Amino acid sequence: MEAYKDWVRRNRDYVNSLESLASGLTWLLPERFSESEIGPEAVTAVLGMITAINEHIIDTTPRSQTPAVAIEPHSFPYPLCISMIKELETLVEVAAQQYFGDDKKWNFIALAEAAKVIVRLASFRNSGFRMLLQGGETPNVENSPSPSKLGNHHEPDHFPNMNGRTQWNMEGKALSALSRFRENARKGADPEWLHRVQHQHPVVEPPAAVVQRPTLSKILNERGVSGLLFVLGEALFITRPLIYVLIIRKNGVRSWVPWFLSLAIDFVGVGCLTPLSTLRFGGREEQCQFTDAEKHELKRRKLLWALYLMRDPFFSTYTRGKLESTEKIMEPVPLVGILTEKLVELLSGAQTRYTYMSGS
């Protein structure tokens, strides 16, 4: 296994290119969207899991050792676990539809979504209540302040730096000075020892900094309304897919109730996060410092709203007709007509899979 990890890390560009090619070819597999064929989905799921494992190996590549090494209190690979569940979810949906029917398949989809909710909530807590990137598939380890650190810029930061460098700046210097003092003392007292160490390079291993993560109660107590809005926004983002599936399970996929309620939850969730850049309460300004990755994540979540155009009943009522009319218009055009027909076919097929259009 270690040899495979080394190979993946040395050939990451080649591995990424090969995975992208394989992923693209799976869309051309025969019977890709057939209700009675789970083979292509099984192939896609296996390739997806291999890709997730390789990305996890690359993301966990040991960096050059520096004095500032933070110890994570939990080493469970949450991003890998979420990616694996997502890859299996489509296969679960297709298999459940084939063996149990269209109605009962939602029971299994709900179980898969519940598993993702549990892992994401655990990841959210373990990260110190930092914003989940890509639904938790990408670790939020950027050095900039986390959105959970909501407060006035002038007040001291009560939470330690996520990479432990702040703690090392003081402890490391003290240890280095103590080490030099001890070495000079020993050199003066033992000339023979001085002769021996001239051919050696002693290394002082500083103690690794242990990351102290903020708790939920601490965030709510110290950050007040801002902290509450942030936690609420993330909680809605995490639980929205499960709520959506449970309502579909009760009302049916053709009902407008799950469609509107899911959209409302997305609006409220992002709405809780968007205004946090500047809030005023009682004449006191509270600010949230979003990192670049977190700003990009907010934009990504808003772009996911476009998937509502591909979800029933909106798709059956409006989008399908637009796609079919566009296909007829482009049909006489050489090459473009063929590509448009294939694109509409892929979109219509992908729309039948909940997991392709879930955005979760």
Strand partners, 151: 287
Q: Report helix angle 336-351 to 320-330, nearest 10.
A: 160
- Cβ atoms of residues 49 and 87 within 8 Å: yes
CA distance linking residue 178 with residue 169, whole number of Å: 14
Give me the pLDDT at residue 68, please.
Answer: 41
Q: Are strands 284-286 and 209-210 parallel, antiparallel or unpaired?
A: unpaired
What pLDDT, on the 0 to 100 scale, is given for residue 195?
47
The reported pLDDT for the residue numbered 190 is 47
Residue-wise DSSP of 56-101:
HHHHTPPPPP-S--EEPS----HHHHHHHHHHHHHHHHHHHHHHHH
Whether 142 contacts 293, CB under 8 Å: yes
Rg (CA), the chain: 26
Label residue 123 exposed, middle or buried (CB < 10 Å: 0-12, 13-18, 19+).
buried
Long-range contacts of 102-110 (CB under 8 A, 24+ apart): 106/245, 106/248, 106/249, 107/249, 109/245, 109/354, 109/355, 110/242, 110/245, 110/246, 110/249
- C-beta of residue 272 within 8 angstroms of C-beta of residue 131: no
Q: Which amino acid is at 190?
A: D
Please give the single-letter amino acid code of residue 170: M
By three-state DSSP, how is residue 280 classified? strand
Query: Quick check: 26 and 32 in contact, CB under 8 A?
Result: yes
Predicted local confidence at residue 180, as pLDDT = 55
Please tell me the distance from the alpha carbon of residue 102 to that of residue 39, in angstroms, as a whole number: 18
Residue type (1 letter), 2: E
Distances (CA, A) of 179 to 172, 174, 204: 10, 9, 8
Long-range CB pairs of 112-115, under 8 A, 24+ apart, other chains included = 112/85, 112/88, 113/89, 113/241, 113/242, 113/245, 113/360, 114/242, 115/85
Dig out the tokens for 63 from the structure: 């960096």
Angle of CA points 206, 208, 210, to nearest 5°: 150
| Short-list 217, 224, 212, 216, CA closest to 155 | 224
Q: Is the Cβ–Cβ distance between 158 and 307 less than 8 Å?
A: no
274: Cβ contacts below 8 Å, ≥ 6 apart: 298
Per-residue pLDDT of the chain (360 residues; tens, 9 = 90+): 778 777 777 777 767 777 677 666 666 655 555 555 677 777 777 777 888 887 878 777 776 543 444 444 446 899 999 999 998 898 899 889 888 988 899 999 999 999 999 999 999 999 888 999 999 988 887 654 554 554 444 333 433 333 444 344 454 555 555 555 455 544 454 455 444 544 454 445 455 455 567 777 777 777 778 888 899 999 999 999 999 999 999 999 999 999 999 999 999 999 998 766 544 444 454 455 788 899 999 999 999 999 999 999 999 999 999 999 999 999 888 899 899 998 998 888 889 889 889 988
Q: What would the two tokens of residue 40 be? A: 């292509």
Taking alpha carbons only, the member of 298, 250, 239, 244 closest to residue 270 is: 298
pTM of the entire predicted model: 0.72
Q: How far apart are CA 242 and CA 246, in angstroms?
A: 6
**What is the model's pLDDT at position 122?**
95
